[in-house]
Amino acid sequence: MIPDPLFDFRGKVVVVIGGSRGLGRQMALAFAERGANLVIASRKLVACEEVAQECRTTGGKAMAYSMHAGSWPDCDALLDAVYTEFGRIDILINNAGMSPASPSHKVEEAMFDAVLNLNLKGPFRLASQAAWRMSQRDGGCIINVSSSGALMPLPTAVPYGAAKAALNAMTVSLAAEYGPKVRVNTISPGPFLTDIAKAWTPEMRKSAPNAAERPGSPEEIVTAALMLASPASTFTTGALVRVDGGLR
């Protein structure tokens, strides 16, 4: 089947950080179904390989890679491995994250650092290094996955909301720095029924304080990612797309 020309990713190399589950997995499969070659990166290699195998069933190539997305040496090693295997990166999706809840006065330094490393420090390293490499060749697209917690900060999640707010600012800065050849955008998800929802109450899994009156299903993230990465979206950069059901 020939993909819609607006969403034709045949031959493109797409790297999905945090691609072994949840929103990352859904985005990876969506790009694979539209002809892309995928790199699935996360901490658990077995889980990455499972998603990579799903991607291969569409006919493209897929590579599984184990890494800590908050570690700069791991980020650099991933980029080197992808360029060795595929020779380039066309689309990078920074999707790793963690959001432990804790009263602010009880947050320990180690936890603060871990949250900032995974939600900001690592994504900065990946995005900046990938953008530089892209800019030296044919360009590319970077999508940073943020959170509604950056726009509507919540109590007991201060380090997370602060890190994601900084990620939003980083997107705008990198779009200006590496444009016009490299586009950098943000997706800001709201509540989604991913693994984290297992800890929610039954009511939280059924309803949400948004216009849609419910949490999202993971597959509902797909169209935002495809749109921002589309070759038809060449005039969209430095943007933030809310996918939160109209949170208020």
Residues in the chain: 248
Assign 237 to helix, strand or coil: coil
Residue 4 is given by DSSP the state P
Burial (0-12, 13-18, 19+ Cβ within 10 Å), 159: buried
> How distant, in Å, are the alpha carbons of 132, 154, 160, 184 from that of 234?
18, 34, 31, 11
Cis peptide before 180 (omega within 30 of 0): yes
Nearest residue to 213 via CA among 175, 247, 179: 247
Q: Are 77 and 126 in contact (CB under 8 A)?
A: no
**Is position 160 annotated as part of the catalytic site?**
yes
d(CA 171, CA 183): 9
Q: Are 169 and 176 in contact (CB under 8 A)?
A: no
- The first and second tokens of residue 28, run together, are 């990876």
Which residues lie closer than 8 Å to 232 by C-beta, 6 or more apart?
5, 6
Tell me which amino acid residue 144 is: N
CA atoms within 13 A on the CB side of 189: 26
Select which of 65, 83, 160, 178 is catalytic.
160
Give the residue numbers marked as catalytic: 160
